A and B are shown apart, each in its own frame.
Chain A
Amino acid sequence: MALSCSLNRYLLLMAQEHLEFRLPSPFWILSIPSEDIARNLMKRTVCAKSIFELWGHGKSPEELYNSLKNYPVEKMVPFLHSDSTYKIKIHTFNKTLTQEEKVKRIDALAFLPFEGKVNLKKPQHIFSILEDYGLDPNCIPENPHNIYFGRWIADGQRELIESYSVKKRHFIGNTSMDAGLSFIMANHGKVKENDIVFDPFVGTGGLLIASAHFGAYVYGTDIDYNTVHGLGKASRKNQKWRGPDENIRANLRQYGLEKYYLDVLVSDASKPSWRKGTYFDAIITDPPYGIRESTRRTGSQKEIPKGMEKCPESHVPVSLSYHLSDMFFDLLNFAAETLVLGGRLVYWLPVYTPEYTEEMVPWHPCLKLISNCEQKLSSHTSRRLITMEKVKKFENRDQYSHLLSDHFLPYQGHNSFREKYFSGVTKRIAKEEKSSQE
């Protein structure tokens, strides 16, 4: 079947958020084979506000009108015929226009063959003029850099950020993931209906919620007995104890997603209890960085250092500090062993920015690096959202190859991430920055 000579072009409008994850402009022109695919894209994204079928664009009104005149009339006509209703909206970015200016711009499009009736309340078709005045609020140009005109197709899922907000969630922890980021992680993990998703550092289960929303069944483990059981001090300010129904299962129930809850276990991620095999379609997790939550691993009774609390009854004394580099290599090995082929590992890697190089990103022969997105935490630290895909079946000799790799030694430095975060080095940097601003 021959391809049509012009692929349909769409304008994707991104939200002004997580700018470090993408190229600077919020306007993206995409070639998409069909409107269905464009709609499906919008059913998943929390980063994009809207998508439009692009009819014309230019750097000036004249260029825009020429572009519109070149757009095939037969593609316009189905949405403009006399039985239909429509309205035209105008969005300007980084500038405010008066009502008069807006009306002028809409009127200038009178040359388009609109035959339908205007309906401002419930139109069948919505058209939009989008004017891009750049990204610098301190330097707003007289004329826009770009003007676009298109037919509105669909909005993204940004309201999920509000409806799944951590502020409203029943059960939270110190480091519960922001709802928007948890959906981004689920998208990086390509989570889909009937997948099994696992979080080995599940905490209060925030990341599982996003996956369950997309129809995946979820497993979680955590080394902290109290967190998994929903016991002990609550992380919500002004709340004393976690209520009886505060746990991961209850969080899913809050959103009507309880049917996707498989199980959670108290378990040490460095010593997993799964039998040999590939079960997980995605592993999506935010491992502890050793700052707000401690990094721990089970250890022997003799090795308990001073000051570590002992856990009662069926808990096990935790003692050994878990070197960050070991933790990430354990995580990659675990993912390589238990992910299905094509399955994804999505996790945050904390980084001391002054020393960061790409070579530090942990590596594994079975996993291919898909993306690496930085989110700044402070002037000298950031975390990177790493996405990897399993491309090779795991064989026993794969589990130690990282020791031979160049990547192992550089990341060793990150064992002291915690120290660097708190150390005098960072305080000195902060002091220097402050004085340079004065």
Chain B
Amino acid sequence: MKLLTHNLLSSHVRGVGPRGFPLRLQATEVRISPVEFNPDFVARMIPKVEWAALLEAADTLHLVEVPKGPIEGYEHDEKFLRQMHHVLLEVDVLEGTLQCPESGRLFPISRGIPNMLLSDEETET
């Protein structure tokens, strides 16, 4: 699971609503997988990022050189975009958990794939 994905996921346990974001990340196995750098795509993603959640996740994984927020003129700043490219797309959580910050419910990540399934009782109506 990439950190870009983690940044878009939220718990849908019944009753938590917007307090289900961000999911608390815990990783037991992480892999760095190089991905071809595409500055245009990374630049497109910047406005979609929730920075506090990204920084929290990056911190959990002990990542360094993580920009603290979008900088002015980021669309043309290669250094910034490369750093964001690495954080968002190249850090792959293979094993771990995502935890609903409100209910504590755990969603497992195995083989890089999060399992978000809940039973009917647990979900929003």
| B113 close to A228 (CB less than 8 A) | yes
Question: Once the chains are docked, how many angstroms separate the CA of A193 from the CA of B40?
Answer: 9
Binds A, one of B6-14, B62-70, B75-83: B6-14
Chain B stretch 79-125: residues in CB contact (< 8 A) with chain A: 89, 108, 110-121, 123-124
How big is chain A's contact interface, by range? Answer: 35 or more
A229 located at the interface, meaning its Cβ lies under 8 Å from any Cβ of chain B in the complex:
yes
Q: Nearest chain A CB to B47's CB is how many angstroms away? A: 10
Known A271-B118, A315-B117; contact A262-B4, beta-carbon cutoff 8 A: yes
Q: Which residues of A contact B108 (CB under 8 A)?
A: 314
Question: Once the chains are docked, how many angstroms separate the CA of A229 from the CA of B110?
Answer: 9
Question: Once the chains are docked, how many angstroms separate the CA of A31 from the CA of B5?
Answer: 44
| B12 close to A273 (CB less than 8 A) | yes
Q: Nearest chain B CB to A297's CB is how many angstroms away? A: 8
Question: Once the chains are docked, how many angstroms separate the CA of A316 from the CA of B113?
Answer: 15
| A300 close to B119 (CB less than 8 A) | yes
Question: Of A225, A262, A263, A271, which contacts B115 at CB under 8 A?
Answer: A225
Chain A stretch 220-246: residues in CB contact (< 8 A) with chain B: 221, 223, 225, 228-229
Question: Once the chains are docked, how many angstroms separate the CA of A228 from the CA of B5?
Answer: 16
Q: Nearest chain A CB to B33's CB is how many angstroms away? A: 9
B contacts with A: majority SS: mixed
Q: Which residues of A contact B115 (CB under 8 A)?
A: 225, 265-267, 314-315
| A271 close to B121 (CB less than 8 A) | no
| B38 close to A266 (CB less than 8 A) | no
| B120 close to A300 (CB less than 8 A) | yes
Known A265-B114, A277-B48; contact A298-B119, beta-carbon cutoff 8 A: yes
Q: Which residues of B contact A298 (CB under 8 A)?
A: 117-120, 123
Chain A proximity mask over B20-48: 1 for CB below 8 Å, otherwise 0: 11100000000000011010110010001
Chain A stretch 229-288: residues in CB contact (< 8 A) with chain B: 229, 259, 262-268, 271-277, 279
Among A228, A301, A316, the one with the most B-chain Cβ atoms within 10 Å of its Cβ is A316
| B114 close to A266 (CB less than 8 A) | yes
Chain A stretch 293-326: residues in CB contact (< 8 A) with chain B: 298-301, 303, 314-317, 320
4 closest pairs, A vs B, by CB? A275-B10, A300-B120, A266-B115, A316-B117
What residues make up the interface of B, taking CB atoms closer than 8 Å to A?
1-2, 4-5, 8-12, 18, 20-22, 35-36, 38, 40-41, 44, 48, 50, 89, 108, 110-121, 123-124
